[in-house]
Amino acid sequence: MAAILDQLGLNQTYFVQFALFMAAFFLLGQFYFKPFLKLIEARNKAIHSNRAEADVAVAKARDMLDAYQNQIRSERLQAKKQLEDALAEARKEEEKLIGAARAEARDIALSAAQELSKQEAQIRATLANDVEAMAAQLSSKLL
C-alpha cells in the first residue's frame, strides 16, 4: 500500500490534511452552517407565513369590496325607486292641481258667460225701451 501511495505521490501529510479538513468541516457545520441554515429556514417560514396572511387579507378586502359594491348597488336602486315614487306623486299632484285649475277656469268662464248674458239681456231690454223712445222722438221730429 505504501508503494501505491508513493506512486500517487501521497504521503502522511495527505491524511493529516484530510483529517484537519474533516474536523474543520464538522466544526464549521456545527457552529456556522447550521445556525445560518436555521436562519434561512426561519426567514422562508416567515415569508410563507406573511404571504399566506397577505392572501387572507386580500381575500378579505375583496369580500369587503364586493359587499360595499353590493350595498352601493342596493342604495342606488332604493334611491332610484324613491325618486320614481316622488316623481309619480308629483305627477299625481300636478294632474290634481291642473284639474282643479281647469275646473276653476271653467267655472270662471261659465260665470263670466252668464254675467255677459245677463248684461246683454239688460242692455237689450234697455235698448228696446230706448229704441221705442228714440223712434217716437224721431217720428215726432220728422213729422
Provide the domain count of the chain: 1
For the stretch 73-113, pLDDT in tens is 999 999 999 999 999 999 999 999 999 999 999 999 999 99
**Least confident among 32-41, 57-66, 78-87, 89-98:** 32-41
Domain containing 49 equals: 2-142
Residue 131: per-residue pLDDT: 80
Mean pLDDT of 68-74: 97
116 vs 82, 103, 120, 121, 136, CA distance in Å? 50, 19, 6, 8, 29
The long-range contacts involving 118-123, CB below 8 angstroms and separated by at least 24 positions, are none
Residue 3: per-residue pLDDT: 79
Share of the chain above pLDDT 90, in %: 66
For the stretch 108-120, pLDDT in tens is 999 999 999 999 9
What is the C-alpha to C-alpha distance for residues 73 and 81, in angstroms, rounded to an integer? 12
Mean pLDDT of 51-77: 97
Using a cut of 0.85, tell me whether the model's pTM lies above it: no
Residue 137: per-residue pLDDT: 83
What is the C-alpha to C-alpha distance for residues 104 and 112, in angstroms, rounded to an integer? 12
Burial annotation 66-100 (CB, 10 A radius, 16+ → b, else e): eeeeeeeeeeeeeeeeeeeeeeeeeeeeeeeeeee
Asked whether 24 and 30 are in contact (CB, 8 A), the reply is no
